[in-house]
Amino acid sequence: MNRKCDAFNCSREVDTGRFLCPSHWRMVPVAIQRSINTRFRACRANFAFLSDLAYLQACVDAIDGIARIEFGAGHAGHQARQGSYHRLLTLAKKKAAT
């Protein structure tokens, strides 16, 4: 089953288990790519990556970085807060704080 790329305003389909389409993935710095891949592999059992702070932060950093490149700094910050990874990160931080 295919899903949509997680970059803002991208309608390209990506294979299951992929975070971004190839064009957007290439825009992500290598260190962030490594972090996403490492944390995803370490936490994929039971979908634990969806509450892993390091994984979610890396995803947010990737999405925000792409938005800054494509739309400029002002647009990125406003749109980024609306993304699902941003909401998951906020929830995971709240859970970790309790």
What average pLDDT score do residues 33-60 get? 92
Q: Per-residue confidence at 22, pLDDT binned at 50, 70, 90?
A: very high
In the predicted structure, residue 83 carries a pLDDT above the cut 90: no
In the predicted structure, residue 37 carries a pLDDT above the cut 90: yes
HSE-CB at 48 with a 13 A cutoff on CA atoms is 9
Q: Residue 50 has what pLDDT?
A: 86
Residue 60 phi, psi (nearest 5): -60, -45
Mean pLDDT, the chain, rounded, equals 87
- Which residue is it, tokens 């909401």? 87
Q: Nearest-5° angle of CA 11, CA 14, CA 16? A: 135
What average pLDDT score do residues 33-43 get? 93
